[in-house]
Each structure stands twice: as C-alpha cells, then as structure tokens.
Structure 1
Amino acid sequence: MAELAAVGQQQRLQRLRGRPPSLWRRLSGHRSALLGGSIVAVLLAVALVGPLVAPYDPVAMDLSNRFLPPSLAHPFGTDDFGRDVFTRVIHGARISLQVGIIAIGIAGTLGSLLGLLTGYVGGWLDAAGQWLVDVLLAFPGLLLALAIIAVLGPGLPNVMVAVGIGSMPAYARLMRGQVLSLKHDEFVEAARVIGCSSARILFVHILPNTLSPIIVLASLGFAGAVLSAAALSFIGMGAQPPTPEWGAMLATGREYLRDEWWIATFPGVAIALTVLGFNLLGDGLRDALDPQGRTARIGR
C-alpha cells in the first residue's frame, strides 16, 4: 500500500510539472510585475480609503496657513490658498483612477468593437473602418484630444471622452489583427458548419481568444491615459479649480517652484509613480500572457 501511495504521489507530481504554470505563478516570478502591482495596489488603496481618512478638506481655503512647508501637521505642506497638499494628492488619486478607467473603457470598448466587426466582415466595411483609424492616427493622441476638448469644452468628463477617443485606434488595429488571424481557424469553421450565427461566432468563439493582448494594451494604456489627462489639466483644458487633480496641482505649483517646491513636487511624484506602476504591471502581464514572445525577446 505504501508503494502504491508513493507511485500515486509521483504521478500527481509529474502531472503538475507537465501542467503550464498559472498566470499568478508566472507573474510572481516577474520582479518588475510584482513591483508594479504593489504600486498599483497602494494607489487603489489610497483612492478607495484615503479620502475617508484624509485629515483636511481638499478644497477648503485657509489663507492664514499659506505656503507652509512639510511638517507633522501638513506632511506635504500647504499651497497658495492654505489647502493641505497631502489631502489633495490623496483625493487626486481617486480622480486619476477614475479618468484612467473611463478613458480606457471608452477606448477599449469602441476600438475593440470596431476592429472585431471590420476584421470579421471585411470588404467595404473593413476599408471604411481602416480609413477612419488612419484619419485618427494622423493626429498625435494629445493633439486629437485637444481638438475634441475644443469642441466639447474644458472639464474632467470631456477629458475622459477625449482621451478615450484618442486612444481608440490602437485597440481597433490590435483587435482587427487578432480577428484576421483567427476567423479562418478550425474551431471557427466548425462553428460555422454547425450553424452558429455570426454574432455567436464573434462574441463566444473569437472575442474570448483575443482578450489577452487587449488586457495587456489596456494596462499599458492606463498609464498613458493618466498622463494625458494630467497634461490636459496642466494647460487648463482638463479639471478646473478647485478640483484636486494632479495635473492642475502641477500647474499651480510651477509658479512657486523656486521657493515653495512641495506644491508641485508631490503631485509630480504621484503621477510618476502611477505611470511607473502601470507600465511595470503591463510589461509583466505581457510576459505572463505571452511566454513564447518573452522567450523570443530573451533569445535576441
């Protein structure tokens, strides 16, 4: 009996060794992904819990406490209106995450649907879709977002829409390429033979097999969306005062950078850490979801 148990244990170990590692195991072996994931986790915690425990009102002015340097009472100092910079940075985390989620949601949904339909149907619809994508790609993303905001008007909701539309072509191109490589595969042909509708083939058979690169692109694009929103707010086209948005805080702090350095420094560090965290996490997801591509890059 002991010998049979040992043989069974050995067979189970062999099956486990032959099984491909899970996504979590692949990510846990990627130090950059762990660092990026830790930064993103801290950012999420700050965005969810921070505003509930922030020591001050982010928009309440106290002119008697203007330009106070960092201290125990005000860890990040105060700004030109006496507002606590630490509190405003905490509230800004929630705004930046909201901008990133909505902008990437718009870009990923519209771009993926466009690429899915044009790649599968082909013909004139594909040509028209690619013409639209080419027109959008003719403009730099930030310039396109500026043009959209010029039509819609400044404000945080319009920034989300503008950044989302400006990021849409990348998702459309990626999804179209994935669909073109899958729509003639055997499992899709088998679905056609048994009478599945085009909608079922698209959304049940093809779409789930294209999500991995879209997830990677979204994780990398999140950092770009946060950065673009901060840039638009920095030039006055995004969040309007007194909203505690990091780009707008940078714009205020640049006027006092020589003497009151903390007003611009801490929002800038928050933006840099957010972009770094999502870029590292996206790089780790790319390696984890595409191990063959990772091996090829290492071989080069």
Structure 2
Amino acid sequence: MSAVAAPAAGAEPARARRRTGLGITGWVAATIVGLATLIAVIGPLVTPYDPNLSDLVSAWIGPGAGHLLGLDVQGRDVLSRLLAGARSSMLGPLLIVVLCMVVGSVLGLASAWRGGMVDTTVSAGLDILFAFPGVLLAALTAAVFGAGLWAAVLALAVAYTPFVARILRSAMLKERHQPYITALEVQGLGAVTICVRHLLPNVFPFMVAQASILFGYAVLDLAVISYLGIGVQPPNPDWGVMISENQSGILLGYPLPALLSGACIVAVVVAMNLLGERLLERAGTEGRR
C-alpha cells in the first residue's frame, strides 16, 4: 500500500520542471513574438517593392504574380507595407514599455521602501494620472506637439506609468518585508545596495512578465491611435494606418489589406498576453520555491 501511495522517484522534479516551463502555448507565443521582432528589424530591408510607391490604376488588385498579397487602395504592395509597418508597430510599444517600466519601477520602489509621506505623495500623483485615459492623453499630446509616433509614445507611456507603478509597488512591498531584507539591514548594508543587488533581481521575473503583457496592450492602443489619425501619419507604413486606409475595401469587396494588417496586430497582442501569462506563472512558481 505504501509503495503505491509514494511518488515515483524523479516524479516531483519532473512536475516542478513542467510548472517552471513555458509549455507548448508559451513557446508558440514566444515564436510568434520572435518572428514579429525579426520582421520589425529586417522587414524594411527586404520589402519586394517600395512600400510608399503607389499606382492608382492598379488599386485593389488581388494576390497574384509579382504581388503575393495584392495591392491596397492606392495601388501599393500590401506585403511590402506589412513588412515595413512592423517596425513602427513594434518599436513604438517597445519604447512605451521601457519608459513606463523605468519610471514605474523607480516610483514603486521609492513608495514601497520609504513608505509614509513618500508613499502617500506617490499614490496621490498616480491617482491623478489614472484619471487620463491613454487615447485621450494621446489626443491632447497631439494637439500640443502635433500628431506622430513620438507624441503617441510619450502619451501612452505617461498613461501606463501609474498602472505599472501600482503593480510593482505591491510586488516590491511584499519583497521589502521578507526576512532576508531585514538581515541585510542588520548587517549594515545601505538601502541602495540592498535594492539594486537583492530586491530588484528577485522581482525582475515578475517585472518581465508584466512588461510582456503591457507590450500587447501598447501594440493595440498604438494601432488605435494611428487608426484615429493622431499617431503614425500616412503614407508611412504602419499596421494601424493600413486598417484606416483600407477599411473602405471591406465594403467594396477587397477586405484583404485591412484584414491582414488587423491579423498582424491580433497575433502579436494575443501572443504577448499568452507569453506574459506563462511568465507570470513561472515567476510565481520560482517565487514559492
């Protein structure tokens, strides 16, 4: 009876490995993200045609010889614009995530470590920023600085920062009260040394997971802003711009250009969310070990 109830040798390590791995879904999502990143890097260099070269006489020509995915509303090669548009569609969200993660980490760490008046002041400032939706803030920024990618990136970074700071504050506050932090303080280590060498490395997996999820939201929000005309400006290739330019083709019977750009956005957003969820599970598992 005891032999049946006891786990087989090596079974528990195997389960631990499965818990800490990404799994099939995570690896598929990581592959999609990696492919999108590769296209963003080399896409503009390998376009078969000039993505901005238009031929109005050939507008809405479907896929065929010479144009694998056909031509759009202005007779531009759809494949070339998808490849070239991947750069702004991926670079913008990356900048947003980097900016809000850096600022949010500093605010969250200061709030969690110092507490008291610092925590109250930071929380009050974050509450004010929460009142501004990202798209509305992007519209206001575009009105002041002009429409474009950089204005949208700045606006969304500001809009995402309070969310990031709140999430990271909770994680860092929990880590702040761990026994090893108290032991390091007793040994005489300074706050900066403890935070940089010990606290931040321990919450870094959680930060990476949150950044992955946030990247997906940034891709979607930036596409919406470009679609509304206050982000990337035509004729510059961008997935959000492509949907805006080619939406009339859906009613005219030429839906492929708009659907393909939309499919690229959906694929990246879903992949980043799935990858982020797997990374969160892995970070939680490693934190309990």
- Does the 8 A contact of 2:111 with 2:122 survive in 1? yes
1:219-276 superposed Cα distances (whole Å, 9 cap, x missing partner): 0111100100000000100001111011111111112322222231111111111111
Which of 129, 133, 137 is matched with 1:140 structurally? 133
| 2:255 corresponding residue in structure 1 | 261
C-alpha distance in 2 between matches for 1:112 and 1:49: 31
C-alpha distance in 2 between matches for 1:233 and 1:21: 42
Query: TM-score, normalized by length of structure 2?
Result: 0.88
Letter in 1 for 2:21: R
C-alpha distance in 1 between matches for 2:162 and 2:234: 31
Secondary structure of 1:258's counterpart equals: helix
C-alpha distance in 2 between matches for 1:45 and 1:18: 33
| 2:273 corresponding residue in structure 1 | 279
Letter in 2 for 1:149: A
Q: Does 1:229 align with 2:222?
A: yes
- Does the 8 A contact of 2:138 with 2:151 survive in 1? no
Query: What is the total number of aligned residue pairs between the two structures?
Result: 279
5+ residue gaps in structure 1? 1-12, 295-300
Worse-matched range after superposition: 45-54 or 127-136: 45-54
What is the deviation of 1:138? 2.4
Which of 192, 195, 210 is matched with 2:185 structurally? 192
| 1:9 corresponding residue in structure 2 | none
What is the deviation of 1:53? 2.0
Shift >6 Å, 4+ stretches: none
| 1:32 corresponding residue in structure 2 | 25
1:24-46 superposed Cα distances (whole Å, 9 cap, x missing partner): x611xx22212211211221222
C-alpha distance in 2 between matches for 1:249 and 1:147: 23
| 2:73 corresponding residue in structure 1 | 80
Give the aligned CA root-mean-square deviation in angstroms. 2.4
What is the deviation of 1:133? 1.0
Q: Does 1:108 align with 2:101?
A: yes
- Does the 8 A contact of 1:174 with 1:214 survive in 2? no
Q: Does 1:216 align with 2:212?
A: no
- Does the 8 A contact of 1:145 with 1:165 survive in 2? no
What is the deviation of 1:48? 2.5
- Does the 8 A contact of 2:138 with 2:230 survive in 1? no
C-alpha distance in 2 between matches for 1:126 and 1:67: 57
What is the deviation of 1:179? 2.2
5+ residue gaps in structure 2? 1-8
Q: Does 1:21 align with 2:17?
A: yes
- Does the 8 A contact of 1:66 with 1:80 survive in 2? yes
What is the deviation of 1:121? 1.0
Letter in 2 for 1:202: C
- Does the 8 A contact of 2:99 with 2:157 survive in 1? yes
1:165-187 superposed Cα distances (whole Å, 9 cap, x missing partner): 11111210112112221223222
Letter in 2 for 1:32: T
C-alpha distance in 2 between matches for 1:89 and 1:50: 8
Secondary structure of 2:17's counterpart equals: coil
C-alpha distance in 1 between matches for 2:176 and 2:270: 36
Secondary structure of 2:64's counterpart equals: coil
